[in-house]
Structure formats: C-alpha cells, structure tokens
C-alpha cells in the first residue's frame, strides 16, 4: 500500500471501518462486497459469530424443551381423557364404560354444558381415517377446540376469539415471550387500569337519589376555585361496579319513599331487562356476572344491592330473590318467564324484554338512550318527562353516563298478535335484522317512564397528560362518543381537550325550537327543519371562525355537535362546510353518535381533507371507525377484544398512545428513512463509479482526493467519537495514495491521547 498510484489511473477511496487509529482496515469499493456491509451497518446487527450462534442455540434449545413438555402434557391429558367414563345406552340401560371403548353407533351422554344437566349424542364417524387424525398436528385456536384419539371425537366450547395469525407466528410469539420475559412482565403489569363503571346516581319518579361527587365535579370545582364537601355516610355499601351513597334506597328504606311503586318497577327493570349470565355460588357475596359491557353488569349489581338479587338464569326464566317487597324483612324467590328479548344494537339504542309474572301479568321493560325512550313515551306523563330531562342534564354535567328506564303492561291478546309477527321476522332468511327492528317498533310505544340511571365511567390514568402531549406534537384530536352532550363536554374538560380559554361552538338538537317541531310528530317537517337549522348554524360558525382567524388574539376553537345534527351535517350539500369549519378547530367533540357515524366522520377527514388519520377505541362499536382510518389502535380492556382484533396495533391503556406515536413511531420513521437512504446511496455509488470510469484520468490528484473524501459516510464513529471525514482520516487516505495532506494540530493531539488506551495485546 506504500507505492504511489499512477496519475492515469482513477481510484475511488474506500470506506473505513471505525477502529482505533493505527489499526484501520480499508474496504474495497466493490459493489457486491460492500452491499452486505452497508445494510449490516444500517441495521446495527452484530458481526461476531458468537453473537449470531448463541441466540440461535438458545432459541432451538428452548423450542426443544417446550415441544417435549407439550408432548408430555398432551400424552397425560390423552390418557386421562381416554380412561374417563361415559354413559352408553346398551340394552335400554345406561352403562359406564371408558371413552376409548366407544364404537360407531353408540349413544353417549355427557359434556360441558350450561342450563341443562345432560344431552344425548351419537358417535357417527371416528378412528384413524378421520381428517383430524390424519393431520400431523392439532391446531387449537378460534371458537372451538377439537381433538381426536383413536375412537373418540370431542368438541368443547372455548372463549378464545378467532386468530388472524398463522401457526408459525404464534409459535414465534411464544419464543419471543420466553426470551424477553422481563418485557412481558412489564406489559402485563401495565395492563391493569382504572377502566371501571360504577352505579353512582339515579332518578326515580322525578326524585334524584345519590349524594356522591364524581371526579369530573371535583375537577370542575378545583378549576373554578370552589371547595366542595362530599356527604358520605359511614355505612355506605361499596363494591366493584356499585358506588352509591343514599340511605333512602338501601335496606328496604325505599318502601318509605313517596313513590314506592316506581322504585319497585325501577329495581325489577334492572334485575330483568338484560342479557347477563350469573356464575359461581348463588349468594350475593360470591356470585359473578358475565355481561356484554361493564355498564350492564353495574346495573345488575345495583339491583342486587337494592334488594333484587338476580341469581339464576335459564333460556326461558330469570330468578330474582326479592327483599322487602311484601313487607320489611321478608325475602322471596320469584321466577319471571322471559318471552321475548329485543336486543340492543347501535341503530335501536335500546333493549327490551317481554316477561310474564308468576300471577300472569305481561310486562315490557325497556332501557336505552334518553333520545329514543322519550320519543316512545305515552302523552300522559309529560310532567315526569320534563323533570327527568332536567335530572339527565345534571347527570351529564357531572360526567355520568345515563340510561332511561320505562315499562308497559301488555294485554294477552295484543301480545299474542304481536308475537306471531315477531316469530315470523325471527325465522326470516332475508333482511332478518331489519324485520326484527320493524316488529319491535310495533310494541315499543306508549311507554311509562320509570326513571334514569347514572353511571360513572372513570378515566384511565394519564389520559389528560397524554392528550396534552399529543396536542403539543401538532396532532388534532377528535372525540367521537355515544354519551350525552353534557357528559361529553365535561369529559373533554377532564381530559384537557377543552378549556375555558377556547371559543366553543355547540350545535345541538336539544333546543326549544326543535323540540317544538318534534312534538308535532310530522317526520318530514322535523327532517326539513333540523337540516335548515344545522345549515344555518354551520354557516354562522364558519363566518365567526374566519373572523377569529383574522383577529389579533386568535383564540383556539372547539366544536361540539350531537349525533342528530351530525346526521344532517354529513349530507353531501353540507359536508364541505362541516369539514372546512372542523379543520379550523383545535378540538372536535361528536356526541350521541352511532358506529356508522364514527366511520363516516373518519372517512370525511381521510378522503375530504387528505389527512393521515388514526382511530383508537376499546369496544365493538369502535370497530368501523378503526377500520376506516389509516391506522387503527385497539385498547384491550373490559369492553372486549373486538377493537383489538380489528386494529393494526393493540395497547393496554390510552396513555401508551403517546409512546406508540412519539417514541416507537419516530424510531420506525428513522429506520425506514435510513434504509431508503442506503438504497439511494447504492444507486448513487454505482452511477458515480460509471462516471469515473468514463472520465478515465481526466481528474487531477487533488480532484480525485476531494471526490473520494466526499463519498465517505458522514457518520460519527462509535469508537473514537470523530467523523469519518475528519482531517486525521483524510490525511491517512491521502498518504496511501502518495498525496501529501498535512495533519491538523488538534488531530495530532487526539492521536497522542488515544495511544495510552490501546490494549496490551495490540501493542505487542
């Protein structure tokens, strides 16, 4: 390397591997030789053979141990199953024999069942020629677990959701969890949140019950500098899902209230109108409820604490242990026959149950959103309707989620006529859901309002700080919720999404003018009037927003709109105006919206504004919104796993969204950019090499040196802390080419300071 290079030859400078001075290695500029090195440096992977072989050996060893352990457990399980006894019908008698002796044609009894003691099954096809027996390995996932052993085919119910991953991905995930146990434990601990729903207050017969203060009320008082005193009794009952404090309804004291009949209907509606399944011992202390949502479970728990204990359910009957109904201290078990269940969905926004009392009384119990319940009330109860509406506004201002409860006595002839239509709709093969909704409309009318419930949905830890961080990063946040407008506004305040310094624009259907038109009952006039009102409000808000933009102060804007107005605002003639105004707002809150409207708003921003959108939710009603966005994030919690299964990323709590976007998202962005940069650099190197070959010896030595130095990577050495194109390296390359380049004084001092750090082996 000490010989000089002829001037007629063009040489490109190589790349230096970061090492201590005096121990440098020059890499040639061959494209094929440098390609793996570049991607190796780009991805920062180890180069030592030990670091490559050792992790692989550990993975293979753990895999072998895992497979051996699973095979042993499967063998033990098969031995237990095959030696279990099963009842077989022989000579008109049930005879117990081992499962492995079953033959085709045997009639068997026994399985893991609910609501029945046994079922009878027939062995149709078993043995080594079945498909499952011929499959090399049994794959266990999804809704059903199926296994085969010689002459038995068993199916057991499972609660796992369908998996989108392949078998290889699932096995790799298990290995990763074993290798990174510490990270797994951290994630497991982080999954414990405060996603709780507790029965907090209620309104029965025009009277409010419940003395507690919600977290939203405490936060609002703290912001306004007001000190509130919470009146809590010493003997208040408290359990998960029930945080109610009012002695007037506890321990049978409701019998002394001015409206005891309304209280009784209220409690029975909570105990009967649901789809909850009880599990465990039939005692108030040990029973557990499996519900479709946490708020439905909270309502059943509230009925239990009020003395109406739902403890057993069959497909046709609900059993309730009622206290203090006939007289104080008396407890009786009452069975209610469930005749029909009109299930809740996002369109109906209500749920109804038709039941028969032991004395033959037919009752329809209904619970749902205030907007749909009030539309179906009888005309003779306007006074309680007005008072309850005021109570709902108070609950909403306290940040509570509300539901209205109503009932209706049915005449047997009316019910029989309606039930025939219901059976026909239920057995229909075309448009079944639509027909069921139409039949439900025929009976869910002229209801009697009982009251309303108020449930506190506690915020997860760190939500306000997360939202503030995302807003500082320039991300606009829109809230799409099914809560009331008052509840949504107060939750937005609690989350720091809205504050008193913002200019708020509220477009609501709960105005006196709209209510007056709705009371007339003309649907065509209602639709026309609301659309005109929404158009007028949007135009007014847009003009006012434009005036604020041109002003000196330029306050932040916030839009709040409810679902009924949003339905007309999303009309093709108004959506452009809605989008233009919404994009000028710092925050947008859409309340009382359906899952379809959530998806429509997301698509409006994604397609209309050409913005990158991210949707995050934790329930089944958020699936359509998650799928409509560019990026979907699901929160795994008490609402189920539907949102997680439909999302691109899954997190345990909302506050992890900041790390997902601002930390892991930033790292991912850098990695992608670095790979793209390396790919373009490779193309540039190839092009530059061809140009140099064509140029031949035209370049002067100084130009050749300058061009070679310019091709060096502009990165900092991890070993020395200096740039690769520092004067020291530049002079080293020049010396190899026979070109004189004087060293700088600071570079000489740096070399001298590095000499004592050299290892003894290197000196030798």
- Binding site residue list for Mg(2+): 618, 622
Q: Which of 42, 58, 39 minimizes the C-alpha distance to 50?
A: 58
* Maximum Cα–Cα distance across the chain: 114
Report the DSSP beta bridge partners of residue 368: 350, 404
* Euclidean distance between CA atoms 444 and 378, whole angstroms: 11
Residue matched to tokens 């009752």: 363
Contact 686, 35 (CB under 8 A): no
* Euclidean distance between CA atoms 292 and 71, whole angstroms: 36
* Euclidean distance between CA atoms 116 and 274, whole angstroms: 21
Q: Which of 657, 575, 565, 561 minimizes the C-alpha distance to 609?
A: 575
- The CA distances from residue 433 to 293, 425, 427, 543, 717, in Å, are 21, 8, 11, 43, 67
Please work out, in degrees rounded to the nearest 5, the angle formed at the alpha carbon of residue 21 by the alpha carbons of 16 and 24.
Answer: 35
Question: What residues are designated binding site?
Answer: 296, 344, 367, 401, 481-483, 592, 598, 618, 621-622
Contact 90, 102 (CB under 8 A): no
* Euclidean distance between CA atoms 199 and 153, whole angstroms: 46
Cβ contacts of residue 621 below 8 Å, gap of 6+? 346, 482, 594, 595, 598
Residue matched to tokens 């085969």: 148
Length of the chain: 764
Report the DSSP beta bridge partners of residue 27: 15
Question: What residues are designated binding site for ATP?
Answer: 296, 344, 367, 401, 481-483, 592, 598, 621-622
Query: What is the 8-class DSSP label of residue 637?
Result: B
Tell me the HSE value of 30 on the side-chain side, using a 13 A CA sphere.
6
Cβ contacts of residue 704 below 8 Å, gap of 6+? 10, 11, 737
* Euclidean distance between CA atoms 478 and 585, whole angstroms: 10
Contact 404, 367 (CB under 8 A): yes
Q: Where are the alpha helices (DSSP H) in 362-502?
A: 370-374, 382-397, 412-426, 432-443, 463-472, 485-494
Strands 614-617 and 587-591: unpaired
* Euclidean distance between CA atoms 98 and 85, whole angstroms: 4
């Amino acid at each position: 390397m000490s010989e000089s290079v002829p001037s007629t030859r063009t040489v490109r400078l190589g790349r230096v591997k970061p090492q201590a001075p005096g121990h440098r290695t020059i890499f040639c500029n061959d494209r094929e030789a440098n390609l793996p090195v570049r991607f190796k440096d780009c991805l920062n992977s180890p180069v030592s053979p030990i670091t490559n072989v050792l992790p692989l050996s550990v993975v293979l060893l753990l895999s072998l141990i895992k497979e051996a352990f699973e095979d042993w457990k499967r063998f033990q399980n098969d031995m237990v199953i095959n030696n279990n006894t099963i009842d077989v019908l022989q000579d008109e008698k049930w005879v117990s024999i081992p499962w492995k002796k079953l033959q085709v044609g045997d009639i068997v009894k026994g399985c893991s069942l609910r609501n029945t003691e046994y079922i009878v099954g027939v062995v149709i096809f078993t043995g080594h020629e079945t498909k499952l027996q011929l499959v090399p390995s049994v794959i266990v996932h999804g809704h059903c677990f199926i296994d085969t052993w010689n002459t038995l085919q068993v199916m057991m119910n499972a609660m796992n959701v369908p998996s989108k991953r392949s078998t290889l991905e699932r096995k790799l995930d298990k290995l990763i969890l074993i290798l990174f146990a510490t990270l797994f434990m951290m994630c497991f601990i982080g999954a414990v949140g405060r996603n709780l729903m507790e029965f907090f207050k209620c309104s029965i017969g025009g009277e409010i019950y419940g003395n507690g203060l919600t977290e939203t009320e405490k936060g609002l008082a703290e912001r306004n500098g007001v000190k509130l005193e919470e009146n809590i009794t010493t003997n208040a009952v408290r359990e998960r899902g029930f945080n109610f404090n009012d002695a007037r309804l506890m321990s049978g004291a409701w019998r002394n209230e001015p409206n005891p009949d309304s209280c009784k209907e209220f409690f029975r509606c909570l105990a009967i109108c649901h789809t909850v399944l009880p599990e465990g011992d039939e005692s108030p202390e040990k029973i557990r409820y499996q519900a479709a949502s946490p708020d439905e479970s909270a309502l059943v728990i509230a009925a239990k604490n009020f003395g109406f204990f739902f403890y057993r359910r069959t497909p046709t009957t609900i059993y309730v242990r009622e206290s203090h109904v006939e007289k104080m201290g008396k407890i009786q078990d009452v069975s209610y026959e469930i005749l029909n269940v009109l299930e809740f969905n996002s369109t109906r926004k209500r749920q109804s149950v038709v039941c028969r009392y032991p004395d033959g009384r037919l009752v329809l119990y209904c619970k749902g959103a205030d907007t749909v319940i009030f539309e179906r009330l009888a005309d003779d109860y306007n006074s309680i309707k007005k008072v309850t509406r005021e109570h709902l506004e108070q609950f909403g201002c306290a940040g509570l989620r509300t539901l209205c409860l109503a009932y209706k006595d049915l005449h047997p002839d009316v019910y029989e006529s309606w039930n025939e239509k219901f059976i026909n709709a239920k057995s229909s093969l075309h448009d079944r859901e639509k027909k069921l909704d139409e039949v439900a409309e025929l009976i869910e009318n002229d209801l009697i309002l009982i009251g309303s419930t108020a449930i506190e949905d506690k915020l997860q830890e760190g939500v306000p700080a997360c939202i503030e961080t995302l807003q500082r990063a320039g991300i606009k946040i829109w809230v799409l919720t099914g809560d009331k407008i008052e509840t949504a506004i107060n939750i937005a305040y609690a989350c720091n999404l809205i504050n008193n310094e913002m200019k708020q624009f509220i477009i609501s259907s709960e105005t006196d003018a709209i209510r007056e038109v709705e009371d007339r009952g003309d649907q065509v006039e209602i639709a026309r009037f609301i659309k005109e009102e929404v158009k007028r409000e949007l135009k007014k808000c847009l003009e006012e927003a434009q005036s604020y933009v041109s002003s000196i102060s330029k306050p932040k804007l916030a839009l709040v709109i409810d679902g009924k107005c949003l339905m007309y605002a999303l009309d093709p003639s108004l959506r452009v105006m809605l989008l233009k105004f919404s994009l000028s707002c710092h925050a947008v809150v859409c309340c009382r919206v359906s899952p379809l409207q959530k998806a429509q708003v997301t698509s409006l921003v994604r397609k209309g504004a050409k913005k990158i959108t991210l949707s995050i939710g934790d329930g089944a009603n958020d699936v359509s919104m998650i799928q409509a966005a560019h990026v979907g994030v699901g929160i795994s919690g008490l609402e189920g796993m539907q949102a997680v299964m439909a999302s691109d990323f899954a997190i345990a709590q909302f506050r992890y969204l900041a790390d997902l976007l601002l930390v892991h998202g930033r790292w991912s962005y850098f990695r992608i950019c670095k790979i793209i940069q390396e790919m373009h650099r490779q193309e540039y190197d190839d092009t530059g090499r061809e140009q140099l070959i064509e140029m031949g010896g035209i370049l002067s030595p100084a130009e050749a040196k300058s061009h070679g130095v310019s091709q060096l990577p502009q990165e900092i050495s991890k070993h020395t802390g200096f740039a690769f194109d520092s004067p020291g390296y530049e002079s080293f390359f020049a010396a190899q080419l026979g070109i004189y380049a004087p060293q700088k004084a600071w570079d000489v001092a740096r070399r001298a300071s590095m000499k004592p750090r050299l290892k003894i082996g290197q000196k030798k």
